[in-house]
Amino acid sequence: MILLDGKKIASEIRAELRDRIDALKAQGKRPPCLAVVIVGHNPASETYVANKIKACTEVGIEARKIAFEADITESALLAEVERLNADSTVDGFIVQLPLPDHISESAILSAIDYRKDVDGLTPENVGRTVQGLPSLVSATPKGIRELLSRYAIQTEGKHVVVIGRSNIVGKPMAMLMMQRPYLSLPGMSASSLGDATVTVCHSKTRDLAAICRTADIIIVAAGSPGLLTADMVKEGAAIIDVGINRIDDPSSLRGYKLVGDVDFEHVSKVAEYITPVPGGVGPMTIVSLLQNTLQAYNEHP
């Protein structure tokens, strides 16, 4: 079994990014700038945002955190999005999800200028990704593709099962895996894996286990701890665990531990490749955001 070490790969990519950004600065150019908008005090969101800002600082990207209380109105948040769209010192920005119930996520995401949409969540970027056009690709699927690529895990002709149909992970992941690589154009990631046969499963799927057993690669993004068990996995499969679930753990200092959607202990005995949680997909997601910020900076100076 080979552990897909997202932490290590992300650190290598950060070093590459740091070199590229140092070179820009050496030419007298300003560094790229990412703004992160957070609404309210969701503890998981606060951790993710802190990690994103730390990662920016590490590679020389200027990071601006813009925090609002949970009672901000939708129109005030839309006004902030418009302000960031117009701010020529900001190359890219994200609005951390989830948003409070009184704010429409799709209204906010649709208002983001797609050229600054470094989360790749606007309808424009999703549509461009579907058509194989240059786009800012959603961070988690992009990071997973990069992880597969750096471990030389081929996808051509493989059966990839994606569990989860979210706009952030499941849908764009399926698109990337089924993509014709030769449609990848300048501006897209250097890694252009695709050509897979993709099955997307979700909460209404019948006999998930039988479908998973036919998979060469399983990408689980269901938010359900321990969902993927060893009996659902073909010997030699590659397993990508996107789940980050907080489970009560009185023995830990924080009072909780993080577990994925995969029963790691047993699945790791059957799979050939597997991501740990934490340290697998999570660090790759953050590094993809940094790559997207540099891409936005280069494409729209």
Q: What is the DSSP string of 203-262?
A: TT-S-HHHHHTT-SEEEE-S--TT-B-GGGS-TT-EEEE---EEEE-TTSTTSEEEE-SB
**DSSP character at residue 112:** S
- Selected binder of ligand GUN within 97, 107, 111, 130 (CB under 6 A): 97
Out of 5, 119, 241, 263, the active site residue is: 119
Residue spans of alpha helices (H) in the chain: 6-26, 43-59, 74-86, 105-111, 123-130, 139-150, 170-178, 208-212, 264-267, 281-299
**DSSP character at residue 134:** S
53 binds ligand GUN (CB under 6 A): no
| Exposed / middle / buried, residue 185 (Cβ in 10 Å: 0-12, 13-18, 19+) | exposed
168 binds ligand GUN (CB under 6 A): yes
| Catalytic (active site) residue 234 | no
96 binds ligand GUN (CB under 6 A): yes
119 binds ligand GUN (CB under 6 A): yes
Cα(56)–Cα(63) distance, rounded to whole angstroms? 6
- Selected binder of ligand GUN within 35, 39, 94, 284 (CB under 6 A): 94
Q: Which is nearer to ligand GUN, 268 or 275 (CB)?
A: 275
**For residues 283 and 51, is the Cβ–Cβ distance under 8 A?**
no
Q: Which is nearer to ligand GUN, 37 or 267 (CB)?
A: 37
Q: In this chain, which stretch among 88-96, 124-132, 222-230, 249-257 interacts with ligand GUN, using CB under 6 A? A: 88-96
**For residues 49 and 66, is the Cβ–Cβ distance under 8 A?**
no
| Catalytic (active site) residue 52 | yes
288 binds ligand GUN (CB under 6 A): no
Q: In this chain, which stretch among 19-27, 55-63, 91-99, 208-216 interacts with ligand GUN, using CB under 6 A? A: 91-99
Q: In this chain, which stretch among 90-98, 170-178, 195-203, 217-225 interacts with ligand GUN, using CB under 6 A? A: 90-98
Catalytic site positions: 52, 96, 119
Q: What residues make contact with ligand GUN under the rule CB under 6 A?
A: 94-97, 119, 139-140, 168, 285
